[in-house]
Amino acid sequence: MSREKQTFEAKRWLQTAREDLAAADTLFQNDLFSHSCFLAQQAAEKAIKALWHNSGEEPWGHSIQRLLTVLPDLSIRKELESLLPDAVLLDRYYIPTRYPNGLPDLTPGQVYFMQDAEAALRAAVRLVSKVSELMAEEEEG
């Protein structure tokens, strides 16, 4: 894949991450906390996948923690090490926020509260912001 195509693909993933983050905030404002948690997870996952595409690699999987710890670009991986706790937190929201059969006799809306969504949004904002910063630096340099 050409460098131009890699950059284009990375930007598409990052733009989608930003849109997911905005949607997560809208859901939060409407008290749909489980859905907000899930889209916060999606925003962070897509932002990290943008870095993979920017490196010319095809990301696989949905675990943000794994995507970070095996990121092909070692220098960027080191830059993101401090955000691993955010990745771990967000990974918890990938499945149970969406499916009632992942919870004992409850629905996601009965399990996830404002505090959960606030924490998820903060973590996603940190990850998406850092990826945006790293990609902007690379574009400038």
Confidence label for 141 from pLDDT (cuts 50, 70 and 90): low
* CA–CA dist 6, 13 (Å, integer): 11
Identity of the residue numbered 42: Q
Question: Which pLDDT does position 103 carry in this prediction?
Answer: 84
Residue in 1, 45, 3 with CA at minimum distance from that of residue 138: 3
- The class that CATH gives domain 3-140 is mainly alpha
Contact call for residues 141 and 107 (beta carbons, < 8 A): no
138 or 106: which leads in pLDDT: 106
How much is the mean pLDDT over the chain?
96
98 or 3: which leads in pLDDT: 98
pTM listed for this prediction? 0.96
Tokens of 110: 């009965």
Confidence label for 111 from pLDDT (cuts 50, 70 and 90): very high
Q: In b/e form, how buried is each residue of 73-96, taking b as 16+ CB within 10 angstroms? A: beebeebbeebeebbebbbebbeb
Please enumerate, as own/partner, the contacts of 83-87 that have beta carbons within 8 Å and a separation of 24 or more. Answer: 83/126, 83/127, 83/130, 86/44, 86/123, 86/124, 86/126, 86/127, 87/44, 87/48, 87/63, 87/123, 87/127
Instruction: Give yes or no for residue 100 having a pLDDT over 70.
Output: yes
